[in-house]
Amino acid sequence: MAESRRKPTEAGRSKVRIRVLRYNPDTDKQPAYRDYTVSVEPTDRVLDALNAIKWYQDGSVTYRRSCAHGVCGSDAMRINGVNRLACKVLMRDVGAEVVIEPLMGFRIIKDLVVDMESFFAQYRSVLPYFVNDSRPPERERLQSIEERERFDDTTKCILCAACTTSCPSFWANEEFVGPATIVNAHRFVFDSRDDAAAPRLERLNGREGVWRCRTVFNCTEACPRDIRITQAIGEVKKAIMYGQIA
Amino acid sequence: MIHTHTYDALVVGGGGAGLMSAIYLSRDPSIKTAVISKLYPTRSHTGAAQGGICAALANLEEDHPEWHAFDTVKGSDYLGDQDAIEVMCEEAVDVIIELEHMGLPFSRTPDGKIAQRPFGGHTHHFGQGPVRRSCYAADRTGHMILQTLYQNSIKNGVEFFDEYQVVDVLINQGRCVGVVAYEVSTGDLHVFNAKAVLFSTGGFGRVWSITSNAFANTGDGPAIAFRRGIPLEDMEFYQFHPTGIYKLGILITEGVRGEGGVLRNDLGERFMERYAPTMKDLASRDVVARAINQEIREGRGINGKKYVYLDATHLGKDVIENKLPDIADFCRTYLGVDPVKDPMPIQPTAHYAMGGIPTDMNGRVITDASNTVLEGLYAAGETACVSVHGANRLGTNSLLDLVVFGRRAGLDMARYCLEAEIGPLPENPTADIEATFAALLATTDGEPAARLREELQDVMQDEVGIFREGKGMERARVKIRELQERYAKVVVMDKGTRFNTDLMEAWELGNLLDLAQVTTESAINRTESRGGHMREDYLTRNDAEWLKHTLAYRDARGEIELRYKPVTITKFQPKERVY
- pLDDT value at A246 more than 60: no
Residue contact B105–A68, C-beta within 8 A: no
Query: Which of B39, B107, B492 has its CB closest to that of A148?
Result: B107
d(CA B395, CA B214): 18
Q: Establish if A119 touches chain B: CB-CB under 8 angstroms.
A: no
Q: CB of A179 within 8 A of CB of A167?
A: yes
d(CA B206, CA B171): 28
d(CA B423, CA B426): 9
Q: Given pLDDT bands bounded at 50, 70 and 90, which one contains residue A244? A: low
User: What is the distance in angstroms between the Cα of A23 and the nearest Cα belonging to chain B?
Assistant: 11
Residues of A whose CB is below 8 A from B345: none
d(CA A2, CA B450): 11
Return the DSSP state at B542. Answer: -
In the A/B pair of chains, how many CB contacts fall below 8 A? 166
Q: What count of Cα atoms within 13 Å lies in the side-chain half-sphere of residue A233?
A: 25
Q: Establish if A134 touches chain B: CB-CB under 8 angstroms.
A: no
Report the mean per-residue pLDDT for chain A.
Answer: 95
Q: Is B264 a catalytic residue?
A: no
Give me the pLDDT at residue B1, please.
87
d(CA B361, CA B88): 9
Query: Which of B42, B45, B498 has its CB closest to that of A110?
Result: B498
Q: Encode pLDDT of B59-72 as tens digits.
A: 999 999 999 999 99
d(CA B273, CA B259): 17
User: What is the distance in angstroms between the Cα of B353 and the nearest Cα belonging to chain A?
Assistant: 17
User: What is the distance in angstroms between the Cα of A178 and the nearest Cα belonging to chain B?
Assistant: 18
What phi and psi values does residue B426 have, to the nearest 5 degrees?
A: -70, 165
List the single residue in A with minimal CA-CA distance to B49: A71
Q: CB of B76 within 8 A of CB of B86?
A: no
Average pLDDT of span A116-120: 97
Peptide bond into B387 cis (omega under 30): yes
Q: Establish if A26 touches chain B: CB-CB under 8 angstroms.
A: yes
In chain B, which residues fall in CATH 3.50.50.60?
A: 2-158+352-419
Amino acid at B325: P
Amino acid at B342: D
In chain B, which residues fall in CATH 3.90.700.10?
A: 245-349
Q: Establish if B147 touches chain A: CB-CB under 8 angstroms.
A: yes
Test the B interface: residue of A53, A93, A115, A129 with most B CBs within 10 Å = A129
Give me the pLDDT at residue B558, please.
85
Give me the pLDDT at residue A8, please.
73
Residue contact A5–B454, C-beta within 8 A: yes
Residues of A whose CB is below 8 A from B497: 26
Q: Which residues pair with A32 in a beta bridge?
A: A22
Return the DSSP state at A45. Answer: B
Query: How many helices and strands in chain A, by DSSP H and E?
Result: 8, 7
d(CA B204, CA B212): 10
Q: CB of A102 within 8 A of CB of A21?
A: yes
pTM of the model: 0.97
Give me the pLDDT at residue B556, please.
83
Query: Which of A4, A69, A140 has its CB closest to that of B250?
Result: A69
Residue contact B42–A130, C-beta within 8 A: no
Q: Given pLDDT bands bounded at 50, 70 and 90, which one contains residue A222? A: very high
What phi and psi values does residue A239 have, to the nearest 5 degrees?
A: -60, -40
Give me the pLDDT at residue B2, please.
92
List the single residue in A with minimal CA-CA distance to B247: A9
Q: What is the DSSP string of B289-352?
A: HHHHHHHHHTT-SGGGSS-EEEE-GGG-HHHHHHHSHHHHHHIIIII---TTTSPEEEEEEEEE
Give me the pLDDT at residue A5, please.
84
Q: CB of B405 within 8 A of CB of B384?
A: yes
Q: Encode pLDDT of B195-241 as tens digits.
A: 999 999 999 999 999 999 999 999 999 999 999 999 999 999 999 99
Architecture of domain B2-158+352-419: 3-Layer(bba) Sandwich (3.50)
Give me the pLDDT at residue A7, please.
77
Q: CB of B395 within 8 A of CB of B119?
A: yes
Q: Encode pLDDT of B440-484 as tens digits.
A: 999 998 999 999 999 999 999 999 999 999 999 999 999 999 999
Residue contact B47–A67, C-beta within 8 A: yes
% residues pLDDT > 70 (chain A): 98
Q: Establish if A107 touches chain B: CB-CB under 8 angstroms.
A: no
Average pLDDT of span A81-87: 98
Q: Give just the sign of the alpha carbon dihedral A103, A107, A111, A113.
A: negative
Q: Given pLDDT bands bounded at 50, 70 and 90, which one contains residue A245? A: low
**CB within 8 Å of B332: residues ≥ 6 apart:** B338
Cβ under 8 Å to A: B residues 320-359 = 326, 329-330, 333-334
Test the A interface: residue of B35, B53, B108, B331 with most A CBs within 10 Å = B108
Q: CB of B9 within 8 A of CB of B415?
A: no
**Residue of B117, B285, B393, B453 marked active site:** B285
Fold (CATH) for B431-545: Methane Monooxygenase Hydroxylase; Chain G, domain 1 (1.20.58)
Q: What is the DSSP string of B433-496?
A: HHHHHHHHHH--SSEEHHHHHHHHHHHHHHHSSSSB-HHHHHHHHHHHHHHHHHHTTEE-----
d(CA A123, CA A228): 18
Residues of A whose CB is below 8 A from B248: 69
Report the mean per-residue pLDDT for chain B.
Answer: 97
pLDDT tens across the length of chain B (579 residues): 899 999 999 999 999 999 999 999 999 999 999 999 999 999 999 999 998 999 999 999 999 999 999 999 999 999 999 999 999 999 999 999 999 999 999 999 999 999 999 999 999 999 999 999 999 999 999 999 999 999 999 999 999 999 999 999 999 999 999 999 999 999 999 999 999 999 999 999 999 999 999 999 999 999 999 999 999 999 999 999 999 999 999 999 999 999 999 999 999 999 999 999 999 999 999 999 999 999 999 999 999 999 999 999 999 999 999 999 999 999 999 999 999 999 999 999 999 999 999 999 999 999 999 999 999 999 999 999 999 999 999 999 999 999 999 999 999 999 999 999 999 999 999 999 999 999 999 999 899 999 999 999 999 999 999 999 999 999 999 999 999 999 999 999 999 999 999 999 999 999 999 999 999 999 999 999 999 999 999 999 999 999 999 999 998 888 999 999 999 999 999 999 999
Q: Establish if A90 touches chain B: CB-CB under 8 angstroms.
A: yes
Q: CB of A222 within 8 A of CB of A83?
A: yes
List the single residue in B with minimal CA-CA distance to A43: B334
Mapping DSSP to helix (H, G, I), strand (E, B) and coil, where does residue A148 land?
A: helix
Compute, in degrees rounded to 10, the torsion defined by CA atoms B469, B387, B367, B182.
90
- Here the ipTM equals 0.97
- Sheet of A76-79: strand order equals A32-40, A14-22, A97-101, A76-79, A82-85
CATH of B245-349, one of 3.40.50.12780, 1.10.10.10, 3.20.20.150, 3.90.700.10: 3.90.700.10
